[in-house]
Chains A and B, each alone.
Chain A
Amino acid sequence: MKRRNFLRSSLGAGLAAGAFMSFGSYEKAFAGKRLPSGADYDLIAVMGGEPAAMFDMGIQAMGGMGSFVKKGQKVLVKPNIGWDVVPEKGGNTNPALIKRIIEHCYRAGAKEVYVFDNTCDNWIKCYKNSGIEQTVKDAGAKIVPANSESYYQEVTIPNGKKLTKTKVHELVLESDVFINVPVLKHHSSAMMTGALKNMMGVVWDRGYWHRNNLNQCIADYALYSKKPQLNVMDAYNVMMRNGPRGVSVADLSNMKSLMISTDWVAIDAAGAKMMGKEPSSIEHIALAAGMGIGKMDLTTMNIHRMKM
């Protein structure tokens, strides 16, 4: 990282945070002049606030949503809506966070924002009971079905070891900007679910992944050309065990945290750490880092930590 950039972005983030603190209002912080873009942090980590407020602070430090979304663009926001559980159970991405991300997209000039997930439980119940369908509609975005193979198109994955082609949802292909919004959770198959694992909700045939070395397939998918430009990890209520569905609220740790990064391996590495695990112990993270998809070593990263 260039020193000049670093100084500029630190200053920017500091100003943003400062503005946020002093005015205490998201609206005012937002109304301020957009900071110079390209805050070259590897990772932004925010702790201690509500999901929406933490996102306001974090995205400001990243240079604002305008760094990612341009006027007239179609944006895909991909949360985890995998399970028919209420928000308090922590099984899906926090709906308030989704709402705020969509609002930022529209303020940045997005033409349209789309949200979907290929759910595990019945999709209608997942969309409804997760609170995400309502919140997406409230924010003026479109919640899109992903329940039928007819919505998916086959793509090839260059250099994939196990996964060389897969069917992805048409909106992944059609959108200009892709924002990945996983919820951090324990996962019985992949040990942890975060940004990389969240892509199992944009493909049709997950069973193929499970049959053909799950962790390698997760890493392979990250080679596909349509990558998320931005990853936002919801670590507000983190499911520490019995994931990914969870059995009871006793499985949750109220970490009140949020991470933002353009590097989805880095954000998953941070997530692993939050859960008390070494990133290298999570096979798909290690594989993805080994394949050069992103950085896993948190000690060499430029991390901007913020507390609210």
Chain B
Amino acid sequence: MRSSALKHIRTVFAVLVLLLFAFLFIDFRGLLGEKAFGPILYLQFVPSFIKFVITGVAASTGFIVVLALTALTGRTYCSFLCPLGILQDSISRVGGLVKRRFRKYGYKKPYTILRYFILVVTAAILAIGGVYVLSILDPYSIFGRFMTYFAQPVVLFLNNLLASVLGKFDVYTIYHVDIKPYELAVYIVPAAFLLLVGILSFRYGRLYCNTVCPVGTLLGLLSKVSLFRIRFDEDKCTRCGRCAMACKSSCIDFLNKSVDLSRCVNCFNCIDSCKENGMSYGLVRLKKPAMHDGGTDPSRRSFIAGSLVLLAGGSQLVRAQGTPPTPTKDSTVKEDRLYPVSPPGSVGIESFTSRCTACTLCVNACPTNVLQPSVNEYGFAGIMQPRMDFHSGFCNFDCNRCTDVCPTGAIMPLMIEAKKLTQIGKAVFIKENCIVHTEKTACGACSEHCPTKACHMVPYEGSLLIPEVRDEICVGCGACEYACPTRPFRAIFVDGNPLHEAAIKPESEELEAVPSEFPF
């Protein structure tokens, strides 16, 4: 195909995908139903791969589809489905406009060693200990963080501006949503990447995708042998070089009439740029003596090596599922939290931290803001992975939205009735801090908010009542900690269960007879 329609189809499709994913992460009103998340996220490569390794073939085959798509068509994924890739195309476009002339990219040599080094290191660390480097470099998660950390506050600001104007006219369909910044430290990584990805794409098109991105590199290995590919029409090409100048990936060597397929992202700009109809996209011609000379191809070797390492990494993920971490301290320590609290459905801290890529989708989907990016609660490597922060919210008893949206399986689906009996942590009461004890006045805000009455009030001095916790029916939702009015330290807090446990359903006795007369 030589039609420039290919480029236009790509542009329209990509814009729609970009808008969809931006909405996914900015949707602070929770307009998108839980069922929509799965299909939308199905094809995101890294989340799908992680989920596949954890749950097996049936649950998540999206990354296999992407691999097949790449083997068939080349890196279509990068231009059509990767939100970070599309975002970079948008930034590149702005970069081109700023320069007030058509962006000239031109052919450049690839940073081959750096590319494969990053891929191998990512895969190796995945194999040894978990998702940490992958979570930093996964393009989907990077995009998610951009939206959550930087785009959403802007949208909220505009929303609030609108809300305050409409409020004057008694219109409340748009309502005010407080902008609550996260801990400063969690902005470091996303800010660095915003700078890196922003500058590279502004000036050099897809350089980031073809140098840093491990998904780009991996798919690039496959696209080298893809069935459909961009190619020169030897007879028509006049070596004018327009295609090379239009190429965001700087991968067209027009003098040699060759395209570096490992870097080509199928944007089809070159086809559109050629005045002679000398570029086309179509089925590979076998007579072409390109990659299939039978000799040793170093990239093929690294592809095989990379795949093996990825699979090894996957097996590590599976292992993490069954091994509960051993407590490092005695469980009788009263004040400090021994463990952070991981979200319901995450099974436990280790399984959660070894699977979560910190895309922040759950952070946005959570209606109570209890899910917050962590700083070092999970350890330094777990930075940005969400934890239950009971100072910013508490887990709504009748809600399991985070378990529905997680694309990697770090938070597994949990039916609402099961969620209500999942104990993610236990409340610990510190009498010395309690208002009832220190002020000798009534309080009980903790017990008030408790959905199971695990935190209940028992007689204290005089007519006063003081909280008491029944561990076995506590679910660790943190409503008590959130509501506790004491500062700077709360009189009740939730200590995480390193491995989630089952809570017992609270029992209820019969009430006395209903009065049939007014007692006054």
Contact = CB atoms under 8 A, between A and B. Distances in A.
B443 A210 contact: yes
B53 to A, nearest CB: 34
A149 B178 contact: yes
B450 A245 contact: yes
B178 A84 contact: no
B510 interface: yes
A74 to B, nearest CB: 10
Interface in B339-353: none
A247 interface: yes
Q: Which of A121, A149, A305 has the most CB of B within 10 A?
A: A121
A157 B319 CA distance: 62
Contact of B448 (A125, A147, A187): A187
A210 B445 contact: yes
Nearest to A129: B398
A150 interface: yes
Given A242-B453, A270-B520, A112 B170 contact: yes
A147 B176 CA distance: 8
Contact of A245 (B178, B451, B485): B451
A193 B397 CA distance: 22
Interface stretch (B106-114, B188-196, B424-432, B434-442): B434-442
Interface in A214-257: 214-216, 240-242, 244-245, 247-248, 250-255, 257
Nearest to A284: B442
Q: Which of B398, B457, B463, B520 has the most CB of A within 10 A?
A: B520
Contacts of A142: 170, 172
A242 B439 CA distance: 24
B113 to A, nearest CB: 51
A254 B513 CA distance: 9
Contacts of B486: 211
Contact of B514 (A125, A145, A253): A253
Interface in B159-192: 160, 164, 167, 170, 172, 175-178
Nearest to B443: A210
B518 A244 contact: no
A256 to B, nearest CB: 8
A148 B175 CA distance: 9
Interface residues of A, number: 59
A207 B445 contact: yes
Contact of B175 (A145, A207, A247, A305): A145
A252 B510 CA distance: 10
A235 to B, nearest CB: 10
B124 interface: no
A45 B399 contact: no
A273 B520 contact: yes
Nearest to A306: B518
B515 A250 contact: no
Contacts of B452: 247
B397 A84 contact: yes
Interface residues on B, range: 35 or more
A245 B515 CA distance: 22
Interface in A242-296: 242, 244-245, 247-248, 250-255, 257, 269-270, 273-274, 276, 281, 283
Contact of A122 (B178, B367, B443, B448): B367
B511 interface: yes
Nearest to A248: B508
Given A47-B518, A245-B450, A148 B178 contact: yes
A242 B512 CA distance: 15
B435 A210 contact: yes
B221 to A, nearest CB: 46
Given A145-B172, A210-B485, A250 B508 contact: yes
Interface in A138-166: 142-145, 147-151
Contacts of B160: 150
A125 B519 CA distance: 36
A148 B519 contact: no
A298 interface: yes
Given A142-B172, A305-B518, A188 B178 contact: no
B391 interface: no
A85 B427 CA distance: 23
A227 B439 CA distance: 29
A214 B396 contact: no
B164 A247 contact: no
B128 to A, nearest CB: 40
A120 interface: yes
B392 interface: no
B325 interface: no
B448 A189 contact: yes
B456 interface: yes
B129 interface: no
A124 interface: yes
Interface string B242-272: 0000000000000000000000000000000
Given A120-B449, A210-B445, A242-B453, A274 B515 contact: yes
B519 A276 contact: yes
Contacts of B178: 147-149
A112 B396 CA distance: 33
A189 B172 contact: no
Given A124-B30, A189-B447, A253-B514, A213 B176 contact: no
Contact of B509 (A148, A250, A274): A250
A84 B518 contact: no
B55 interface: no
Interface of B: 29-30, 160, 164, 167, 170, 172, 175-178, 367-368, 396-399, 435, 439, 441-445, 447-453, 456-457, 463, 465, 483, 485-486, 506, 508-512, 514-515, 518-520
Given A142-B172, A215-B442, 10 more contacts: A151-B176, A188-B447, A191-B442, A207-B483, A214-B444, A247-B451, A253-B512, A253-B515, A273-B518, A281-B463
Please give me the 7 A-B residue pairs with the lowest Cβ-Cβ distance, nearest first. Answer: A189-B444, A250-B508, A188-B447, A148-B176, A207-B485, A210-B485, A145-B175
